[in-house]
Every structure is written in structure tokens, then in C-alpha cells.
Structure 1
Amino acid sequence: MTFTQLEIFALVAELRGFTAAAMRLGVSQSAVSHAIKSLEQELGVQLIERQGATADVTELGKRLLVRAREILGLAESMRQEVAAASGLNKGLLRIGSFGPTSSLKLIPAILDVFQKRYPGIEVRIDEGTDDDTLQWILDRRVDIGFIQQPDDRFDTVDLVEDQMVALLPAGHQLAAKKSVSAHDLAHEPFIMPDAGCSTLIEPLFAAQGLCPQVRYRMSQVLTVLGMVGRGDGVSGMAELALPVNLASSHPNIAVRPFSPPVRRRVGLALRNLAQASPAAKAFVEVARKVKL
């Protein structure tokens, strides 16, 4: 068993394809297939199932994939420990990000400082939902992830706090109010954003014995904004998830805070901060000091 075989296994699993993995690595597809076959023969199990052009990890393969990523992570940490002795001038940092809050607001500000301080560190960012990011951390696909706090399964670092706000068509009767409650929105057609915000919105209604009248579920913020602006319904979203230029780009949307206020904390999560790689620890230190 070699590091190269484990790296190829992890990449095929991530990209769900032999061809995509070969292109990423700059090698032939036959070389990727040979590495996987050799690893499977050595372990005596099937790791990958081919479904046409798609490659899916078997159930046992999923468990072994976590171990493979753990081994690769330890090897990367060793390389970074050596590099850190001379200034942490090379290495790899894998980051998980959810939604516009982290991808558009937090990561650019932190990376601006981090890359200037550690230009030799390669940064790879996987983007998905909040649940995706949590699973990637558990599966060791990423070293560190932006999540909605708290989560007792991880070591976490608070970064910012914002509030949930209601999104209303500008001409809606509720737009005349300074704030809105779950009762105000309970009978309105609701457009539910699925990228993390629903885990805060649904309990807001449930706490008062209510249930939002969900007409649509959307994963993209701009789609939600477009539908609210057309008058298709109302919605709720974290303030940091909204575009900075919302007032000018969507003048037909009114934003109102919830009453009572609903706060949200966003931060970083790692499996174990004390055992994190030097690059991950450096990223945490930079993130703590950057004004967000």
C-alpha cells in the first residue's frame, strides 16, 4: 500500500470518476484504474463500484476512505511540521464552506491576510450546505470548515454573529412594520432557503406552535430574492447571507428583523484543534484576528 494509491482512492471518491481523477492528477486513466485495482487486491475488498462513467464508493470503502484520509492528513501534517520549522512556506489546507455567508463574506477577508502571510500554502475550498460541511469534517475530506455554531462534535472557534431577517415584497402590508414575528408570517406563502437557514427558521415557528406555509424550497439565495421580489411569497434569511448591495440590486424587497430577535453564530470547526496541521492552526489564528 502506498501514499499514491491512497491519494488516488481519495480523489476518485471525491470526484466520483476515474477520468476526472486522472485529469486532476495529470496521469492516464489506466494509471488511476491500476492504482485502485492494486489497492483493492491488497486489501481483498472492492472499494469502488463503476456505474457507467460514475464511480461510487462501496459501503466498506466509505469506512476505509475515512482511514485513508486520516493517513494522508497525518502525512501532510508531518510535511507541514517540517516546513513550519523554516517558516511554513508550503503545504495544503482543505476548507469546507457553506453558502454566501462564508464563501462571499468571510473566506475572502480571511484568505486575503492568510495568503499574504503564507503564500506557499495551497488552499482548496469545497462548497456545499452546512450539513455537507459537517459531514466533510467528519469524513476528513476537509481540515477545517465554516459552520453555524454550536456543534459539540467538534472543536469550534466563534467568528461572527448576525441575525435572521424576514424578506418581504416591498409592497407587502407587513413591510410597513419595523419588525415581524412568526405569527405575522404563519399564513403567508413561504419560500424556504435550504442552505442552512431552514434549521433556524423552522424552530422559530415551532416554538410558537406554528408551521410556515412552505410553497417553495430553494438552495440559491439569488433565486429566493428573485421570487420574493416578484411577490411569490415571503422568506427568511441570515443577514450576512444577503448581498451587500441588496437595496440597490433588489429595491422591490423589504428586509425586517424578526421579533423576538433570532441570532446566529458562525465560526470554524475542526475535529481536534490541538492535533490540527500547522496550516489549519495558522488559518484559525488569522481568522481570529481579521476584522469581519
Structure 2
Amino acid sequence: MNITLAQLRALVATVDRGSFTLAAATLGIGQSAVSHAVAGLEREVGGQVLRRGGAAAPTPLGERLIGHARSVLASVDALEAVVRPGTARGTVRLAAVPTVCQGLLPRLRDLWAVTLPDVDVQVYEGDDDEMPEWLEAGTVDAAVLVDPAPVPDGAVVGARDEMAAVIRREHPLADAAALTLDDLHEDGLVAGGGGCEHQIQRMHEIAGQPFRYAHRVREMSTMFGMIQRGEGVSVVPTLGRVMLPDDLVMVPTTPRLERTLVLSGPSSRPWHPLARALVDAV
């Protein structure tokens, strides 16, 4: 196959932006050039990689190719950084869980905007389990890992925060010094929102209790909505305080549990130079 970098860049940009028009704007080329590049890629691989009509979404073949395309482009960017040393410049992909995206990344991105003004940090939001998988597969160049053991070589601790209960502001225990797991189970524990289930399980282990919950959800918005309607309470990291609706409050918990958030590149392959630049700046 004679696949070109232009074809891979066109595929990745179109998938990320959802259309040929937006991909062209991102790449700084004409829409027809993007279309021709994708069509050329499809001829080389022998099948359609993008669905046309509406949002440009990858086909099953495109899904299998996109991770490899990202890895190839990241390697090319790293090679260019080696042969053209100087000011850090380019795009780096960073993964983080929702509470980090909301509570920590804005501060880090302000820092990077000053220290690395020519670096574009693209954020990918996922759950705890997805961070190391994306990092090692080459889907992203760097990630904020939650409680990695051991801490990867070259990584840096970006922050630490504690788990806290989230209840309605009008709840009778809203002014309590701390809430126990038994207190939370009386109202019905909503677990899983924002990828925090591992920490909630760990709190049960520390308390010597079996892990149980009344509801299990994925999205924090769903969890917050259930708490607002009086359908339960939950536990989230204190970095998530900025995400709370006005009618919900955080209360400390017992047992206490702290998270360590580590900014790192991959362990199984060389770091992208811009991932190293992000860590060095922090």
C-alpha cells in the first residue's frame, strides 16, 4: 500500500471534526483536497473508511484504522521535533477523567498557554480505565492517570484531592462535619458517575463493608439530576466541586480517601516530545 501522511491527516481530522469542511479548516486546505485524500486512502485499503451524509463518522474499517493513523502521525510529529529542535510547536492529545477536565485542566492549560504558547492541547475525556488504555494504544500522547501504581518514570504528580459526599443543600445532614457510608446508603448511593466507581469501592473496603449501591450511572449529569430529585446521594472527588449545581453541596466523608493525579506519557513506547514538554512545564 502507498498510504500517505496527507491521507492519514485527512482521516483523523475528519473523524475529529465530524465533517470534511471542518477538517479542511483545521488542516488549512480546501475541502476538495480532504475529500480526495480520504478517497485515495479508501482505494489503498480497499474499502470505505468514512460514512458520507450527515456527520462524517468512521465505518468499521475506519474504526480499525483510526488508532493506527493517530500513532503514525504522533510518531511523525516526534521525528520532526527531533530533527527540527527549537520552540515546542504542534498538537498534543491529552486524556483525563471528567472531574480533572473540569477542575484541574483549566489551570494547567492556563499554565501551558504561557509556557508553551505554540502547543495546541487537544483534550479527550474518558473514564479511569480508559486513560492507560488510550495512552498505551497511541490514541493520546499524554494522560492524567488516577492513582497509578507505580507512578510511571518521568511522570509528575499534578494534584491530589479527596472524595466527598454530594447531597442536596436542603438535606438534614448538609451541615454535618462528615458523612459515613451508612449515612449515604440510607438515602441510596448513586455510584459510577464520572468514572469514580473505583474510589467508591475502595472506601467500602477501608470501612470493611461490601460494595453496594442503589443506582449505577455513567454520566455525572445523570448522577447530579438524580440527587437533585431526591433519588439518592453520591461520592465524587473534590475537584468536581466546580461542576455542582447550585442546589447541591459537598460534605467530607469518613473514611477519608485521597486521589493522586499523575500527568504522564506512555510506559510501553517513547514519549511524544510535546508530552514531555507538558510534564516539564508542570
User: 1:241, CA displacement in angstroms?
Assistant: 1.3
Q: Which shows bigger deviation, 11-20 or 65-74?
A: 11-20
User: 1:154, CA displacement in angstroms?
Assistant: 6.5
Structure-2 separation of matches of 1:113 and 1:174: 38
Deviation string, structure 1 residues 71-107 (Cα, Å, up to 9, x no partner): 21111112222443x3x2422222223223x233322
User: Could you say what the CA RMSD is over the residues aligned between the two structures, in angstroms?
Assistant: 3.3
Q: Which runs of 5+ in 1 are unaligned?
A: 288-292
Indicate the residue corresponding to 1:33 in structure 2: 35
Deviation string, structure 1 residues 132-184 (Cα, Å, up to 9, x no partner): 54454244232111232226797654322211111223443444542222222
Deviation string, structure 1 residues 15-41 (Cα, Å, up to 9, x no partner): 444444334335444433321221222
1:42 corresponds, among 41, 44, 48, to 44
Q: How many residues align?
A: 277
* TM-score normalised to structure 2 length: 0.80
Q: Structure 1's 68 and 210: CA in aligned 2 closer, same or farther, altered over 3 A?
A: closer
Q: Structure 1's 76 and 192: CA in aligned 2 closer, same or farther, altered over 3 A?
A: same
- Residue type matched to 1:119 in 2? P
Indicate the residue corresponding to 1:92 in structure 2: 91
Alignment of 1:135-154 (within 5 A): 135-150=133-148
- Residue type matched to 2:43 in 1? Q
8 A Cα contact 1:193 1:237, kept in partner: no
- Residue type matched to 2:158 in 1? L
- Residue type matched to 1:103 in 2? C
Q: Structure 1's 89 and 19: CA in aligned 2 closer, same or farther, altered over 3 A?
A: closer
8 A Cα contact 1:185 1:212, kept in partner: no
Answering whether residue 5 of structure 2 is matched by residue 3 of structure 1, we say yes
User: 1:2, CA displacement in angstroms?
Assistant: 1.5
* TM-score normalised to structure 1 length: 0.78
Answering whether residue 105 of structure 2 is matched by residue 103 of structure 1, we say no
User: 1:5, CA displacement in angstroms?
Assistant: 0.7
Structure-1 separation of matches of 2:274 and 2:12: 20
- Residue type matched to 1:146 in 2? V
Q: Structure 1's 197 and 152: CA in aligned 2 closer, same or farther, altered over 3 A?
A: same
Q: Structure 1's 254 and 73: CA in aligned 2 closer, same or farther, altered over 3 A?
A: closer
Q: Structure 1's 40 and 154: CA in aligned 2 closer, same or farther, altered over 3 A?
A: farther
8 A Cα contact 1:193 1:236, kept in partner: no
Structure-2 separation of matches of 1:139 and 1:97: 15
Structure-1 separation of matches of 2:173 and 2:54: 51
Q: Residue 209 of structure 1 aligns to a residue in which SS?
A: coil
Indicate the residue corresponding to 2:122 in structure 1: 124
Between the two proteins, what is the percent identity of the paired residues?
A: 28
- Residue type matched to 1:53 in 2? G
1:256 corresponds, among 251, 254, 257, to 251
User: 1:4, CA displacement in angstroms?
Assistant: 0.4
Q: Which runs of 5+ in 2 are unaligned?
A: none
Indicate the residue corresponding to 2:239 in structure 1: 240
8 A Cα contact 1:80 1:91, kept in partner: no
Answering whether residue 79 of structure 2 is matched by residue 78 of structure 1, we say yes
Indicate the residue corresponding to 1:21 in structure 2: 23
8 A Cα contact 1:187 1:212, kept in partner: no
Q: Residue 186 of structure 1 aligns to a residue in which SS?
A: helix
